[in-house]
Structure 1
Amino acid sequence: MAGARSTRASAAVDRLKRRTGVTSYSMARTGDGLFFLSEKPGAPPLCAPLELDEFVAFVNGLGPQEVKRISKHDVEFEKQLVRKKT
């Protein structure tokens, strides 16, 4: 279970690196399993140690956000959903 937790947290950091272009971000875990983020290994943490879900949300909120692409088909589908609700 701990491996999956680390994978999910490190995937969030990898996405942050891609969004920002800053490859030096570093994630670490405390002895009691909490996560924190630093700008580079050994640098002061950018957040207090957080539980996995809080850490992922914190990291996902940093930097520029990815814009989700919406196709014409998605737009039409959304319109149909709205019409069916009314």
Structure 2
Amino acid sequence: MAAGIRSTRASAAVDRLKRRTGVTTYSMARTGAGHFFLSEKAGAPPLCPPMELDDFVKFVDGLGPQPEKRITKNDAAFEKQLVRKKQP
């Protein structure tokens, strides 16, 4: 995977975190070995150890309030049917 794509995926995760939390000072950095870490602001101590891309994205996506899952009308109706079938 190209380095640019890796950085874009990691920075997109940080952008999502900024939108969820309203904290615009989060900063991502990349080590010479290609690992990523997150800080509350540029130059601040890291909030995590340097991580591989997938681990970093999972870590960042797990921070802050989580977005509500969207449920379609069909999904809601199906859930109601399941509840009714479980009741005697």
Q: Percent identity?
A: 76
Identify the residue that residue 20 of structure 2 maps to in structure 1.
Answer: 19
TM-score when scaled to structure 2? 0.84
Can you give the 5+ residue segments of structure 1 that lack an aligned partner in the other structure? 81-86
**Deviation sequence 1:39-75 (CA, Å, 0-9, x none):** 0000000000000000000000000000112121233
- Aligned-partner SS, 1:37: strand
Can you give the 5+ residue segments of structure 2 that lack an aligned partner in the other structure? 83-88
Identify the residue that residue 8 of structure 2 maps to in structure 1.
Answer: 7
Partner Cα distance (2:77, 2:3) in 1: 42
> Which of structures 1 and 2 has the bigger CA Rg?
2
Identify the residue that residue 84 of structure 1 maps to in structure 2.
Answer: none
Partner Cα distance (1:46, 1:53) in 2: 16
Partner Cα distance (1:4, 1:77) in 2: 39
Aligned residues: 81
